[in-house]
Amino acid sequence: MSVVELARRSRPPEGLPCCTLVALALLEGEGNEIDSVDDGVRVGGLDWWSRANVWSPDAPWSALDAARELTGGTDARILLVRDVAPPLRPGRWHVVQRWRHLGDGGEPGVEDDTVVPGKSTGHTYLAWMGEDRRVRIVQSSTAKGYRDTWGSWEGDAGLSGYAVGVVYLPTGWTWGA
């Protein structure tokens, strides 16, 4: 079974959480066979899996860190998107993570950001930008299930008001979608 098949079989309200879909896709893209969610811990190890799934409220950006660590990708972070979203690179997959209402820890930068229970909201997804600059968004959530849509990445790309991070996966990196 592929990660996409696994995600399609997961129906709300039991859909795959966003970070779980992304983490499984990353593991699959690195050549691992994924047949169930349990394969995430088996293949990635508990430490990597917990970071990829943002289990710690003291590390809201850990999904990006885990993606970068696994794939060797690079990243960019924007503290607050206003009119322009972080750029995507044509011909590549990206891991995108967005947050609202994080605790800022009082210091500049993202290193001391925290999830504020009952207030912070976040989402993580995969984005492919074609050479024609059209963008494919692959995402999942427990509430809405699996979604695979095409659109544009212009202006704020629907991210205005969010803190956003992007991991640029290496050229040639791909997975089963």
Name all domains of the chain by residue range, CATH numbers in brackets.
3-168 (3.90.70)
| Confidence at 176, pLDDT banded by 50, 70, 90 | confident
> What is the spatial distance between Cα 150 and Cα 109, in angstroms, rounded to a whole number?
32
pLDDT in tens, 49-78: 999 999 999 999 999 999 999 999 998 878
On the question of pLDDT at 107 being above 80, the answer is: no
pLDDT in tens, 120-171: 999 999 999 999 999 999 999 999 999 999 999 999 999 999 999 999 999 9
Its pTM stands at: 0.94
Cβ atoms of 168 and 73 within 8 Å: the answer is yes
pLDDT in tens, 1-35: 799 999 999 888 778 999 999 999 999 999 999 99
pLDDT at 126: 98
CA dihedral 95, 84, 74, 136 (to 10 degrees): 30
Could you say which DSSP state residue 166 is in? E
pLDDT at 167: 97
